[in-house]
Amino acid sequence: MLIRLPYGTKIDFIGKRLIAFAITAAIILVSIGSLATRGLNLGVDFAGGILIEVKTPGAADLATMRSTLSGLGLGEVALQTFGAPDEVLVRVQRQEGGEREQLAALNVVKNALGTEYEYRRTEFVGPKVGAQLLEDAVWAVGLAMLAIAAYIWFRFEWPFAIGALVSTLHDVLATFGIFSLLGMEFNLTTVAAILTIAGYSINDTVVEYDRVRENLRKYKAMPLLDLLNLSVNETLPRTILTGGTTLAAVAALYFFGGEVLAGFSFAMIFGVIIGTYSSVYVAMPILFYFNLRALEGKPESGEKQTQG
**pTM of the shown model:** 0.76
Give the per-residue pLDDT at 21: 93
Share above pLDDT 90 across residues of the chain, in percent, rounded to a whole number:
23
| pLDDT band, residue 83 (cuts 50/70/90) | low
Percent of the chain topping pLDDT 70? 89
Strands 118-125 and 77-82: unpaired
Per the DSSP assignment, residues forming a β-bridge with 122 are 52
> What is the pLDDT, as a whole number, of residue 296?
59
pLDDT digits (tens, 9 = 90+) for 30-62: 999 999 999 888 777 777 788 888 888 888 888
Query: Looking at residue 94, what DSSP letter applies?
Result: P
Place 304 in a pLDDT band, splitting at 50, 70 and 90: very low
Banded model confidence at residue 300, pLDDT cuts 50, 70, 90: very low
Instruction: Give which of 123, 121, 115, 126 is closest to 88, Cα–Cα.
Output: 121
Which amino acid is located at 118 in the chain? E
- 98's CB contacts (< 8 A; 6+ apart) are none
Residues contacting 124, CB < 8 A, separation 6+: 48, 49, 50, 51, 99, 102
Rg (CA), the chain: 24
Mean pLDDT across the chain: 83
- On whether the CB atoms of residues 23 and 110 are closer than 8 A, the answer is no
Question: Per residue in 141-170, pLDDT tens?
Answer: 888 888 888 888 888 788 888 888 899 899
Average the pLDDT over 64-86 and give the result.
79
Beta bridge partners, 306, equal: none
pLDDT band for position 76 (cuts 50, 70, 90): confident
- Per-residue pLDDT for 19 more than 90? yes
> Which of 35-49, 58-72, 224-238, 252-266 reaches the highest mean pLDDT?
224-238
Burial 256-280 (b: 16+ CB within 10 A, else e): eeeebbbbbbbbbbbbbebbbbbbb
**Per-residue pLDDT at 102 exceeds 90:** no
Distance from C-alpha of 308 to C-alpha of 165, rounded to nearest angstrom: 29
- At a CB cut-off of 8 Å and minimum separation 6, what does 109 contact? 50, 52, 69, 72, 74, 90, 92
Give tens-digit pLDDT for 183-203.
888 888 888 888 888 888 888
Q: Which domains does the chain have, with CATH numbers?
A: 14-40+130-296 (1.20.1640.10), 49-125 (3.30.70.3400)
> How far out from the chain centre does Cα 7 lie?
29
Whether 278 has a pLDDT exceeding 60, the answer reads yes
d(CA 61, CA 105): 22
Rounded CA-CA distance 32/185 in Å is: 18
Q: Tell me what pLDDT residue 53 has.
A: 84
